[in-house]
Amino acid sequence: MPRREITFSGYKSMWLFTMFDLPVKTKKERRNYTRFRNLLLDNGFTQMQYSVYARFCVSEEIADTHKSRLERALPPKGYVRLLAVTDRQFAKMQSFYGKNATEIESKPDQLSLF
């Protein structure tokens, strides 16, 4: 049987960003913060900056699934923003450390189906 590879369109594949500002004054608030952060990490999100995480999704439907999962687990207090951008838009991002340009994260390797 021939081996088929899936190619992802730069317009259909998405990057889902989660940006949050959660209170951490009390022990309960710190626990909520940690649970939310661990949920992001357990679901394949990568820390881009402090309180900014991103995850590559092969389609908008997959991004919507992760959005729903995060909405169900929102902490009771604080701000959380979700933003989905296409892979092409993500590739146009400029990244700097100080005045030096840095490389942006690349999407994960493509899957091979047998």
Q: Which positions make up the binding site for Mg(2+)? A: 21
Amino acid at the residue 58? V
Tokens describing residue 7 = 């190619």
Tell me which residue of 60, 43, 54, 44 sits closest to 16, measured CA to CA: 54
How far does Cα 12 stand from its chain's mean position?
Answer: 15
Binding site, residues? 21
